[in-house]
Amino acid sequence: MMRNVLRGALAAGLAVVFVFLAGAGGAPVRAQSADGVVTVEGGQLAGAPSPLGDDVMVYRGVPFAAPPVGDLRWRPPQPAPAWEGVRDATEAGPACMQPALPAEAGRFYNPGVDRMSEDCLYLNVWSAARPEDRAPVLVWIYGGGLRIGNSADVTYDGTRLAQRGVVLVTINYRLGAFGYLAHPLLSAESEHAASGNYGTLDQVAALGWIQRNIAAFGGDPSRVAIFGESAGSWSVNHLMATPLARGLFHAAIGESGGGFGSRGRAEPKAEIESAGERLVEVLLGDGVTPSLEAMRAAGADEVQAVAPDLVLSTANVDGWVFPDTVYNIFAAGEQNDVPVIVGSNADEMSILGGAAGAETLAQYRESIRDEYGEHAGAFFETFPAETDEEARQARMASGTDATFGWEMRTWARMMETVSSPAYLYFFSRVPPAPDADRYGAYHTAEIPYVFDNFGVSPHPYANRDYTDTDRKLSDILASYWVNMAASGNPNSDGLPQWPAYDPEDDAALHIGDTITVEQGIRKDRLDFFDRYYAAQRGGKD
């Protein structure tokens, strides 16, 4: 393996921004009173015992940056203002601006948004630790396509994980046009000639706040692991790629999402700025000359109401947050060198409209020829179909592999360029329910297992008929995740041994009804996408 070498020029260029975003300059605050009041850099916070376990204190709605409103809209996050007295930290802050969740997706993924605001840069902390404990820290980044999500969703309640010995933090970050709009006018006012990527910058700012303050909650700032699912996993991938996050976390866990070739990748700056120009034209209307003043004067609801197809919720290669594409950064060994857990689920696309455009065999063949061009023949050999139903299943299987399975295996393989190990998993346990045969191990299915949160959601569809098998798997997965935060290695006595990933063996931890180590899971299918994405990058088949 190659070790990641931080180039001197890059280090020098990052010095100023790292001091601000990481908050270097002062020891972490470590003060907690007997009644659970903690002192952080902005003042004092009063939390409350968790409803799911009164041995855990919860601090909700903690500001980690200034409200990004008015003149701060579409700017990097600024430090949160201090407050006087003891701040009530018993109510979560509002979710960031976002559209309503589609009805079908809401059956499986419930961000729990009952109020939202542009003023949304808050985090939540669960801790059963004392200040002197220096417990490992897990930081959750929600998914939702960088368009929706909420750190206060009860599905992500950190009580059970806190009871296992970590300090659990969930963070908000700007979404959609608020989080990812790039525009030439915004780039022109930036000292870095960069715009967009505000959601990523929010995540960096939250991690900087955690470095400076988590010891007040009993956490160890030298043992911070970030984890996320779907777009939260894209975000983890992005944080590994951006030099601005260097030193802010010490392990990473990506569940079903990466930015190497399919979704979640950092797009060219010019392309994203062009999309931003189209969005601003629609936002301001005919006859209005685009200006920063007019853009920031528009109401939050007006920005949110712009047609979704004009909003590119994606990172961009701006030369500052992302000096290159995620793929190229990893290929050069320039990612943040920390150990990772990465993996995906067996039937990701079953709830994501994965058979769209392939309701019949004829539609399937036509759509694949249009999408894959000269690679269509190899695609049909890899995902054959002779009936309408086979076409539907092949389309969903290929979407699962292209968007999730390939991304996560690629992530594990690309850790060969640095010194830290990767641990690859494949989740195939089908949560029990009457519709289990239809949806299988769907996208988001692993989240309640990881959080050990069966039955906590008020959403009736989230509370399935989990069995002792599920509870045993949950105990194992939660233990792996906690161990990763504690030591950078998921293994410990009493757990099935999880080997570090070796591209030659291509072995993954298969989390099904039981846990086994299996080589070459879906190898032929993922190898096809290796060749396809290499060709897309201009490489050789």
DSSP assignment letter at 521: T
Residue type, 448: P
518 beta partners: 508
Find all residues with CB under 8 Å of 100, minimum gap 6, and list them.
Answer: none
124 beta partners: 170
CA 313/CA 14 separation, integer angstroms: 26
443 is catalytic: yes
Asked whether 206 and 64 are in contact (CB, 8 A), the reply is yes
At 110 the three-state DSSP class reads: coil
> Hey, what are 447's tokens?
């989240």
Asked whether 256 and 343 are in contact (CB, 8 A), the reply is yes
- Candidates 183, 238, 250, 443; catalytic one: 443
Asked whether 454 and 152 are in contact (CB, 8 A), the reply is no
- Candidates 255, 267, 334, 348; catalytic one: 348
CA 401/CA 395 separation, integer angstroms: 10
Distances in whole angstroms, Cα of residue 468 to Cα of each of 447, 454, 474, 529: 17, 11, 10, 37
Tell which residue, 303, 37, 77, 92, has the closest CA to residue 208: 77
DSSP secondary structure of 285-318:
-TT----HHHHHHS-HHHHHHS-GGG---S-EE-
Place of tokens 């970590």: 166
CA 284/CA 14 separation, integer angstroms: 36
Asked whether 457 and 154 are in contact (CB, 8 A), the reply is yes
CA 346/CA 522 separation, integer angstroms: 10
CA 165/CA 72 separation, integer angstroms: 37
Find all residues with CB under 8 Å of 54, minimum gap 6, and list them.
Answer: none
230 is catalytic: yes
Asked whether 466 and 432 are in contact (CB, 8 A), the reply is yes
> Hey, what are 151's tokens?
């750190």
262 is catalytic: no
- Candidates 50, 187, 195, 230; catalytic one: 230
In this structure, are strands 267-268 and 251-255 parallel, antiparallel, or unpaired? unpaired
DSSP assignment letter at 341: E
HEC assignment per residue over 112-153: CCCCEECCCCEEEEEECCCCCCCEEEEEEECCCCCCCCCCCC
At 221 the three-state DSSP class reads: strand
Asked whether 118 and 67 are in contact (CB, 8 A), the reply is yes
**In 331-478, at which residue ranges do the beta strands (DSSP E only) sit?**
340-345, 422-427
Find all residues with CB under 8 Å of 518, minimum gap 6, and list them.
Answer: 426, 507, 508, 510
Task: Give the catalytic positions in this structure.
Answer: 230, 348, 443
